[in-house]
Amino acid sequence: AIADADIAATHAGLMQQSQSDLDSLKLHAAHVLHALDPTLEPKGPGSGYGVKRAAAGALEHIHLAAKSAGASPNVQTHAMHVAGSLGNVAAWNDQAIATAQKIRAARTAAEAAALVTELVAQTHSIAKGIDANHDGAIGWHTGEGGLAQAHAHMNLMMKGEGL
């Protein structure tokens, strides 16, 4: 998920360099789609697995870990934090997919370019999260945590378990 999110963010960023070239905007939008959900765009520079599938699988497994017999309080606590961040990722992923599809459907470069800033913000949020409450930090809570926060809390969980 992290690697594909980075690819999506990179290609969204590349769109900022060619906002007057409709073909380039559509090409990079296709690359973003491939990284987010390769069932929608089978070719591109992503892994072929996609953020959508990877985040959904991670969310399923973190819930299973938290509910397993003998799950420690450490696992239960950090599972909640990881799940919160992955829930954000899933929502932002769907939004970014919709934006990338609008770019691909655009008839003019100006129409597509008007959506680039939105797609850049969405893919950045997926990868890095966002300080939605403006407290100077990005937490795991709804609307804030992205894959970086999910990863950080997985590391805290593993450290707490002596792994």
Q: What pLDDT is stored for residue 49 in this prediction?
A: 98
**pLDDT-based confidence at 124, cuts 50/70/90?**
very high
Q: Distances in Å between the alpha carbon of 136 and those of 10, 80, 102, 133, 139?
A: 24, 22, 32, 8, 10
Please state the pTM of the whole predicted model. Answer: 0.96
Q: Are 36 and 53 in contact (CB under 8 A)?
A: no
What pLDDT, in 10s, does the model give residues 12-23? 999 999 999 999
What pLDDT, in 10s, does the model give residues 64-108? 999 999 999 999 999 999 999 999 999 999 999 999 999 999 999
Q: Which residues, 6 or more positions from 115, have their beta carbon under 8 angstroms from its beta carbon?
A: 99, 102, 103, 106
Question: Tokens representing 149?
Answer: 């926060």
Question: Tokens representing 121?
Answer: 């913000």
